[in-house]
Structure 1
Amino acid sequence: MNSQVSSSPAPSADRRGVPMPLWLQGVLELGSVAVVSYLLVLLTVLMVWLADGSDSLGLAGSFVLSGQVWLLAHVTPLQVAMDPGAGLPATTGTLNLVPLGLTLVPFALAWRAGGRLARACWEGQFWQPYLSGLAVYSAAGAVAGLLFGTGEIAASPGAAAVFPLVPVALGAFVGAYRASRSLPGLIGVNAAAWVERTSQYSRWAGSYVWAVLRAGFVAAVAGVGVGATLLAAALLWNWNDVVNVYQRLGTGVPGDTALTGLQLGYLPNLAVYALAWATGAGFEVGAGTRVSPLGTDAGPVPMLPALAALPPAELPAWSLAVLVLPVLAGVLAGWWFLREGENHLDDWMALRLPARWITFPLATLLTGLLIGAVAGVLVMLLSWLAHGSLGLGRLTVVGPDGLDVLLWFGAEVAVGAVLGYVLGPWLEHEPPFAPSRGVPGEKLGRRGTRRRRRAEAAARRTMRSAGRVAPEAAGGAVGEPDPRAGQSRRAAGAGAEPSGSAEAFDVDAPTGPEESAEASGPPER
């Protein structure tokens, strides 16, 4: 019997009580995302036009401009061909500097739509409304590319059909997963059951990789928070310069409103730029202008009020202290990884080489490098999204270089992750190599519970491999933590098995001499 993905009693139905086809519901849900996201942009443009913010725009021009902004917000590149008489040094180019703040609008709407679709589906049926909705969204993008193209700014219908799927497909899938909490229910494949049938080492590897990926995500999120904090501090510190730019432009209330809305759309881009600056990689605001704490190559920048907060060409020596901020993001990730208790690379190395003074530093160093690599790749993707071109003059290069950010941020997070993992036990107020000190009935927490389960599994495998009964049948309490858990199982019986075996490793298993005496016969190990 198929189980339903969500807790809703049945798929959605129309007024007559007939269930709505899933493909049709996908079309309606994601189609409404396209319509609502366009109407929000259109409403903003119409407000500027009605306030006399642009006399030459007109009603038809408002619809066209809204469509072009909608396509750009959906990461669709636009081809620009301006009249040389407009006073611009370049006549052709590509506009692909995506306003990530506007991209969050269809992403959030698709998130909600994906959750509703997941609640309307049974297990393994999510692909039907998902793919049908994406097909309609792709068609809407192609139509927008055809309708909203002008002689000056236009989008290829092929690009307009493909690129809008990026934020919508991702948002719908993440929203569906958050609503169902069941990846097998969405894709129809129970990966967890397959993992359970694999070996212990395979399960360890899967848990370790998943924990590393999440730790890298924690570091990336912390890094974006660092960038947002630096951006807010820079805007507050240079607030007078920002106001002076508004006054020099003299666009009036409607123009200032439109300009502020434009800057809000690019606010996430500026946060990514601030993060790239804090890492030391820096960013560019036009060809020949590079901003970095290691040195700033000043050049002419556009008259945009937010750019008045750019660092000056001459920076004090203490400004290099910002390089510590990404390291602190790595410390947070390393501490989080320690609390997860999934460092199975350290477990595997300890099985092969009992010398902890070698295995612990080596495993910690490799784990830090992996966490730094994951965090660097995630921030590199953000840098690529925030990087782009305005297609005119010098403004063909705006934003950080993704590879530079990968190297700088990845290395800094790796150093911080190693420090966070090593210092984590002191932050948790326990020695770094302390064994479990639990007593019967005490709550061990997630980390202690997983450690105890691994000890139980190792003990059962030991009994089966030795041809003896399970500890539970012999009267032993494998699952009970014991104050003597710090003693190694090898110490309970020297020479019982080679030191490199899997059962000889777990130092946290409760197998003291008194507990073994309760079972039949002398101590097993």
Structure 2
Amino acid sequence: MPLWLQGALESAQAAVISALVVAAPIVTVWATAGFQNSGFDLLARLAGQAWLLIHGVPLLLATAGAGSAAHPDSGTLSLIPLGLTLIPFLLAWRAGLRLARASYTDQLWQALLGSWLMYAGFGVATGFVCRTSDVGISLWSAALIPLIPFGLGMVVGARREAGSWSRLIGVDAVAWLSRTSQHSRWAGSYLGSAIKAGWVALMASLSMAAALLAVDLFIHWNLVVAVYEGLDAGAIGGAVLTIVLLGFLPNLVVFALAWISGAGFALGVGSAAGPLGTAVGPLPSIPVFAALPSGSLDFGFVALVVPALAGALAGWWFLREGENHFDEWLSIKVRARWFTAAASTLVLGAVIGSVAGLLAAGLAWLAGGSAGIGRLTEIGPDPLRTALFVAAEVGIGVVIGYAAGPWLERQQKLREADLEAVNGR
């Protein structure tokens, strides 16, 4: 079978499976007479629109006002349930594995090209069929935007099967690096380790933010349950609502990250929720909103320590990597060790903090968006504000962690020596 055809078949399979998974809860609600309009065409269009939304395609919603002065109004639904976006990503990851296994190094592009063309065609067809007078869909967006999560998943899967980027794209990285100067290799090692440390800081911050979110939901569980009971959606409706909320769980974790950083997030135009206080207007009856900390928080500022702790962990990790070549270079140029140690540590904090801030800004941009109705056209953290807060706090933590690293390493070696002495007896 030609590789381009195999890639197209893999994409078609992934598109159909992801569409069925998305359509399943909608069909369940439809089967229990959960929609006022029970037409099958409505069901199919709604499922297609949901499929496009989880891929990140914005939907233009048109609503009509009420009363004699009614006039059409519109808003863009761009709030992506990142948890559900994992469905096409994981299916693409599986397809990438299979295509890389079936391809030689210089032939993989054929499979990827056929796969992406098929997926783009599926997106265009879905957008064309599912757009209505109430829901507008750009065909260009329907064709290109779904390729982002799908293409990323395929590349990650193919990379995992290939084992290295060199085997995946046919470029000998070792030979290329051998032709560069020693200073270039040192600079590359320094920046590469700094980027990894920034990733460590971000993952640590997200982990602690997720833990705090879980604690908050546990504390306010009675309020969450009360909202569920007030909705009276029934077993099927409650289950579907829970699935949707689970789809937005990664978004909520990013919101929690913005909250602990001090940047906060919005739940509507003019609203703000942060560790120093919460000021939001009336919110829809969504269970998870009941867990939102309200009012003035006397000890909310303590949450600002969390990104700094993550930065300290990243600084210690960078110390253990032993790739601080900027410090070595600066020590050669300047003999005053007290100056070079302080300067290189501050620069390291700025670099790793900037990396963590940029990554956090990307997550904030992905997690936020617009619900397309009323005040809820601004939801989520501001990317720039989140980047600045995370970068500053992580940078401070990196300086502390890197400076305290030698002492921590010495304490660890002393404990290991004591254990060896005890075992030797």
TM-score between the two structures when normalised by the length of structure 2: 0.93
Paired residue for 1:193? Answer: 175
The CA deviation string for residues 408-430 of structure 1, in whole angstroms up to 9 with x for no partner, is 00111111111111112222226
Tell me the distance in 2 between the aligned counterparts of 1:104 and 1:206: 32
| 2:342 matches 1:361 | yes
Query: Is the partner of 2:35 in helix, strand or coil?
Result: coil
Paired residue for 2:410? Answer: 429
Paired residue for 1:231? Answer: 213
The CA deviation string for residues 208-238 of structure 1, in whole angstroms up to 9 with x for no partner, is 1111111111111112212211211111110
Query: Is the partner of 1:429 in helix, strand or coil?
Result: helix
Does the CA-based 8 Å contact 2:279-2:294 persist in structure 1?
no
Q: Any residues of structure 2 matched to 1:129-148 within 5 Å, and which?
A: 129-148=111-130
Query: Is the partner of 1:80 in helix, strand or coil?
Result: strand
| 2:391 matches 1:410 | yes
The CA deviation string for residues 233-271 of structure 1, in whole angstroms up to 9 with x for no partner, is 111110111111112222222221221121111111111
Paired residue for 2:256? Answer: 274
Does the CA-based 8 Å contact 1:124-1:185 persist in structure 2?
no
Paired residue for 1:149? Answer: 131
Name the aligned partner's letter for residue 109 of structure 1.
Answer: L
Tell me the distance in 1 between the aligned counterparts of 2:105 and 2:137: 39
Tell me the distance in 2 between the aligned counterparts of 1:89 and 1:214: 52
Name the aligned partner's letter for residue 262 of structure 2.
Answer: G
TM-superposed CA distance for 1:90, in Å, is: 7.6
TM-superposed CA distance for 1:326, in Å, is: 0.7
Does the CA-based 8 Å contact 1:91-1:392 persist in structure 2?
no
Tell me the distance in 2 between the aligned counterparts of 1:224 and 1:124: 38
Tell me the distance in 2 between the aligned counterparts of 1:90 and 1:372: 46
Name the aligned partner's letter for residue 208 of structure 2.
Answer: V
Tell me the distance in 2 between the aligned counterparts of 1:406 and 1:425: 29
| 2:365 matches 1:384 | yes
Paired residue for 1:203? Answer: 185
Paired residue for 2:63? Answer: 82
Paired residue for 2:41? Answer: 60
Tell me the distance in 1 between the aligned counterparts of 2:223 and 2:330: 57
Which of these residues, 206, 212, 227, is aligned with residue 245 of structure 1?
A: 227
The CA deviation string for residues 372-396 of structure 1, in whole angstroms up to 9 with x for no partner, is 1111111100100111111111111
Tell me the distance in 1 between the aligned counterparts of 2:335 and 2:246: 56
Tell me the distance in 2 between the aligned counterparts of 1:359 and 1:329: 25
Paired residue for 1:453? Answer: none
Paired residue for 1:127? Answer: 109
Does the CA-based 8 Å contact 1:49-1:55 persist in structure 2?
no
TM-superposed CA distance for 1:304, in Å, is: 0.4
Paired residue for 1:13? Answer: none
Tell me the distance in 1 between the aligned counterparts of 2:339 and 2:160: 41
Tell me the distance in 2 between the aligned counterparts of 1:60 and 1:250: 27
Does the CA-based 8 Å contact 1:90-1:392 persist in structure 2?
no
State the structure with more CA Rg: 1
Tell me the distance in 2 between the aligned counterparts of 1:51 and 1:411: 52
Q: Any residues of structure 2 matched to 1:30-45 within 5 Å, and which?
A: 30-45=11-26
Q: Any residues of structure 2 matched to 1:158-177 within 5 Å, and which?
A: 158-177=140-159
Alignment gaps of 5+ in structure 2:
414-425
Tell me the distance in 2 between the aligned counterparts of 1:219 and 1:339: 15
TM-superposed CA distance for 1:203, in Å, is: 0.8
Query: Is the partner of 1:124 in helix, strand or coil?
Result: helix
Name the aligned partner's letter for residue 259 of structure 2.
Answer: W
Bigger RCO of structures 1 and 2 (CA < 8 A, at least 6 apart): 2
Paired residue for 1:476? Answer: none
TM-superposed CA distance for 1:431, in Å, is: 10
Does the CA-based 8 Å contact 1:75-1:96 persist in structure 2?
yes
Paired residue for 2:305? Answer: 324
Which of these residues, 150, 165, 187, is aligned with residue 183 of structure 1?
A: 165
When structure 1 is superposed on structure 2, of 392-401 and 186-195 the one drifting more is 186-195
Tell me the distance in 1 between the aligned counterparts of 2:220 and 2:292: 9
Tell me the distance in 2 between the aligned counterparts of 1:284 and 1:61: 32
Paired residue for 2:417? Answer: none
Does the CA-based 8 Å contact 1:96-1:388 persist in structure 2?
yes
Does the CA-based 8 Å contact 1:98-1:388 persist in structure 2?
yes
Paired residues, what number? Answer: 411
Tell me the distance in 2 between the aligned counterparts of 1:96 and 1:84: 21
Query: Is the partner of 1:194 in helix, strand or coil?
Result: helix
| Structure with greater proportional helix content | 2
Q: Any residues of structure 2 matched to 1:209-224 within 5 Å, and which?
A: 209-224=191-206
Tell me the distance in 2 between the aligned counterparts of 1:153 and 1:204: 53
The CA deviation string for residues 58-91 of structure 1, in whole angstroms up to 9 with x for no partner, is 43322211110110000000010123359x9983
Does the CA-based 8 Å contact 1:94-1:389 persist in structure 2?
yes
Paired residue for 1:28? Answer: 9
Tell me the distance in 2 between the aligned counterparts of 1:224 and 1:62: 37
Query: Is the partner of 1:24 in helix, strand or coil?
Result: helix
Name the aligned partner's letter for residue 107 of structure 1.
Answer: F
Query: Is the partner of 2:410 in helix, strand or coil?
Result: coil
Pair 334,129 (structure 1): closer, same or farther in 2 beyond 3 Å: same
Alignment gaps of 5+ in structure 1:
1-19, 433-525
TM-superposed CA distance for 1:55, in Å, is: 4.4
Paired residue for 1:310? Answer: 292
Does the CA-based 8 Å contact 1:273-1:399 persist in structure 2?
yes
Name the aligned partner's letter for residue 328 of structure 2.
Answer: D
Which of these residues, 232, 237, 240, is aligned with residue 258 of structure 1?
A: 240
Query: Is the partner of 1:79 in helix, strand or coil?
Result: strand
RMSD of the TM alignment (CA)?
A: 1.9
Name the aligned partner's letter for residue 118 of structure 2.
Answer: V
Tell me the distance in 2 between the aligned counterparts of 1:61 and 1:371: 50
When structure 1 is superposed on structure 2, of 229-238 and 183-192 the one drifting more is 183-192
Q: Any residues of structure 2 matched to 1:343-354 within 5 Å, and which?
A: 343-354=324-335
Does the CA-based 8 Å contact 2:64-2:71 persist in structure 1?
no
When structure 1 is superposed on structure 2, of 352-361 and 199-208 the one drifting more is 352-361
TM-superposed CA distance for 1:95, in Å, is: 0.5
TM-score between the two structures when normalised by the length of structure 1: 0.75
